[in-house]
Amino acid sequence: MTATTPPPAAGGGRPVVRPRPAVPATARGVGGAVLLVGTRVGLWLGVQLGLAGLLILVGAAATGGQALGEVAGWWMVYVGLVDLGTLGVIFWLLRRDGGSYRDLLGPPTTAWQVAVGALGVLAASVPAVVFSAELTSALYGDGAIAPMFAIVDLPPWASVVSVVVVPLLAELAEPVAFLGLILPRLERRLGRPWLAATIVVLVWAGEHALYPLLVSGGGLDWEFAAYRVGSVLPFLAAWTAAWYALGRRLLPVMAARWVFNAGTALALALGLVQ
Amino acid sequence: MHDRILYRLTWLALVMSLGHHLDHLIRGNAVGWPVTEEVNAFTASLVVYPIIATGLVLYHAGRVGPGFWALVSGGGAVFVGAVHFGPAAVEPPELILDHYDPPILGWLAFGWLVVFVTVLAITCLYETRLWASQRRARHATRPVDAEVGR
């Protein structure tokens, strides 16, 4: 018996019954994770359908398909709205369940650890880049640009937002939500880190099917949705594995992703992707 | 002290490497000595097996640590990545994708290669972190050792 073990209760040696919280901590944890994923899915669909509806209402688009096509060209900007919503839910969960945003980023990480770790994460992403490029070539022809980049059509001010603001918001929200918040809660619930990581990677990849929503032949372009999931899957698997390898330090992963995403947005804004 | 995760990652990388060499043998379009007369990147890559075997023995004996493994994994990732994905790749992805019938087998072999290089890179990250933390721990205990020795 340790010094902190409570003494047996008087009267028949019955164990002390401690008051239970209204909701078990683990259940509340997974509930929060589901809420976060649900919010993101709802926001992806809500933002795109809402904007498309708005375009039809003001007469800027004649059909739903045309409106969705117009909205899709702005996906690198409206991503920011979804990430703002995600950040809102993260902070709400932190206030409800306790803890700080810093806690979600993992153990303390020095600047050089972030730099070296980010370089390692970028190196580990190279196979994913090659796989994604090969998949694009196989589905859309040699030298083709990935459809989600080919459709981007932004005025200069929006391009600046997509390069400066959106990638930063994405790093503050997306990896923090999936790796910092959802994965640890799922690990606690399932007790098997590999299973929790697999589920998170699949859900995270599946979410990419929802943006941008492309229309083909009068309906949603399901081939593109499947391509989007397949092309992003190795990146997410590599980043999740890197998060484990770095002792659950999120900052190097965030830094590498920021370089990657901001670099892509900059290349698109400068017309370097043809 | 031996790290169990390091062992597991090393064995995983070894299995992935064997699988990739098997893919070379099945395709038969990028093989060298001892399968053919030519000495090429395939031949050079076989050196990894004695390195891993020696490394496992030395690691078990405490003669090498995670720093050694970080160099092996990192070197392997760079070598395999350069041979298959680099700008001057001698065996680009098309050599794998276009040499299987049905094509899905080519994607399977290519996916295996992608996972293999990623495993090597992630393993290198893990071993580097382990190496750094062991060095920090050694530095932290050194003054105490000196104190005891006095």
* Residues of A whose CB is below 8 A from B125: 117, 120-121, 124, 242, 245-246
- Higher per-residue pLDDT: B141 or A58: A58
How many angstroms separate the CA atoms of A151 and A166, rounded? Answer: 18
- The pLDDT of residue B47: 95
Query: What is the DSSP-derived secondary structure letter of residue A179?
Result: I
Q: Report the percent of chain A where pLDDT is more than 90.
A: 81
Residues with Cβ within 8 Å of residue A259, at least 6 apart in sequence: A118, A122
Closest C-alpha to B85, from B147, B71, B77? B77
- The pLDDT of residue A143: 85
- The pLDDT of residue A15: 47
How many angstroms separate the CA atoms of B150 and B143, rounded? Answer: 11
Neighbours of A117 (CB within 10 A): 26
Angle at the Cα of B52 from the Cα atoms of B46 and B55, rounded to 5 degrees? 145
Contact A134 B110 (CB under 8 A): yes
Contact B117 A116 (CB under 8 A): no
Residues A122/A80, Cβ–Cβ less than 8 Å:
no
- Measure CB to CB from residue A124 to each of B110, B121, B129 and give the nearest one: B121
Residue among B122, B135, B136 with most chain A CBs within 10 A, to mutate: B122
How is residue A264 written in tokens?
């892509």
- The pLDDT of residue B144: 56
| pLDDT-based confidence at residue A109 (cuts at 50, 70, 90) | very high
Closest C-alpha to A159, from A235, A267, A241? A267
Phi/psi region, residue B149 (left: phi>0; alpha: psi -120 to 50; beta: rest), is: alpha
Q: Is the pLDDT of residue A12 over 50?
A: no
How is residue A36 written in tokens?
């976060």
Mean pLDDT by 10-residue block, N- to C-terminus, for chain B (150 residues)?
90 97 93 92 95 96 95 96 91 92 94 97 96 89 58
Average pLDDT in the A45-49 region?
A: 96
ipTM: 0.87
- The pLDDT of residue A265: 94
How is residue A38 written in tokens?
């649900």
- The pLDDT of residue A54: 95
Residue among A112, A125, A126 with most chain B CBs within 10 A, to mutate: A126
Distance of CA A180 to the CA centre of its chain: 11
Residues A117/B125, Cβ–Cβ less than 8 Å:
yes
- The pLDDT of residue A161: 96
The answer to whether residue A237 neighbours chain B at the CB level (below 8 Å) is yes
- Give burial (CB, 10 Å; 0-12/13-18/19+) of B86: middle
Q: A17-41, pLDDT tens digit by residue?
A: 444 444 344 345 799 999 999 999 9
